[in-house]
Amino acid sequence: MSQPPDDWEKLRQEILECQQCPLAKSRTQAVPGVGPNDAQLMFIGEAPGRQEDIQGEPFVGAAGQLLTKLLEQVGIKRQSVFISNVVKCRPPENRQPTHIERATCRPFLNRQIQYIQPRVIVLVGRVPTETILETTVRMGAMHGRVYHRNGRTFFVMYHPAAGLYNQTLVPTLEEDMQKLKSIANNDRVPSEEREQGQLPLSEFFSEEKK
């Protein structure tokens, strides 16, 4: 049975004040996420970077600017989507968040999803993909596809930072964004989608179901 809806502002405040993992000590501020809390599309990245830590908003650095451009190219306004991360605080030196940090922060993400009820959850890059779908499958095999888990629809794409480091990936990012637009419009679902049960369900979903 679903949990009763959170108070959105209270949830945001809890994130801003959270001290539950070591990242609280090194952050400038927690970055809960940005966008409407009834968005159809929810983007989940890895963690805030330096600019995000300073500005308090996810995806505002160079990779974020590329994400905004990719959205605009297919006619999706950045302001119409909700954007957050697996962990809400910046890891020192932009290292990957540890599994303990991801697990500690996960209830916040669960509660955001539960509140927003997005139509499609976009997993941006390897860390959110492996964290949420609990898979170690390579991004090259997973990007641009839809995954159904426990009544929710996920779409996997490369992190835009990959396109900054490797320009040859930009056309792939553009194609995947176009696919996402089609899925969001319900025009077409890629036939390669994987069925529920092919990969193990995670605590992420069982927590959400409690």
87 lines the binding site for ligand SF4 (CB under 6 A): yes
Residue list 97-136, contact with ligand SF4 (CB under 6 A): 101, 104-105
Residue 42 CB, nearest approach to ligand SF4 (Å): 17
- Residue 122: beta bridge partners? 43, 155
The region, left, alpha or beta by phi > 0 then psi within -120 to 50, assigned to residue 190 is beta
Task: Kindly state the smallest distance separating residue 128's Cβ from ligand SF4, in Å.
Answer: 14
Q: Binding residues for ligand SF4, how many (CB under 6 A)?
A: 14
Residue with tokens 């605009």: 72
Closest approach of Cβ 114 to ligand SF4, in Å?
Answer: 17
For ligand SF4, the closer of residues 16 and 141 by Cβ is 16
Return the residue matching tokens 């860390």.
127
Residue 113 vs 173, nearer CB to ligand SF4: 113
Q: How many CA atoms lie within 13 A of 80 on its CB side?
A: 10
Q: With binding defined as CB under 6 A, does residue 44 bind ligand SF4? A: no
Residue of the chain from 11, 30, 67, 127 that contacts ligand SF4 (CB under 6 A): 30
Select from 70, 74, 49 the least CA-distant residue to 60: 49
Radius of gyration of the chain (CA): 16
Task: Describe the strand order of the beta sheet including 82-85 as a list of residue ranges.
Answer: 82-85, 41-45, 120-124, 152-157, 146-149
Measured distance CA(42)–CA(82) in Å, rounded: 5
**Closest distance of CB 83 from ligand SF4, Å:** 16
Select from 66, 88, 143, 156 the one that contacts ligand SF4 (CB under 6 A).
88
Residue 86 interacts with ligand SF4 (CB under 6 A)?
no
Q: Does 11 bind ligand SF4 (CB under 6 A)?
A: no
- Residues in contact with ligand SF4 by CB under 6 A are 15, 18-21, 23-24, 30, 87-89, 101, 104-105
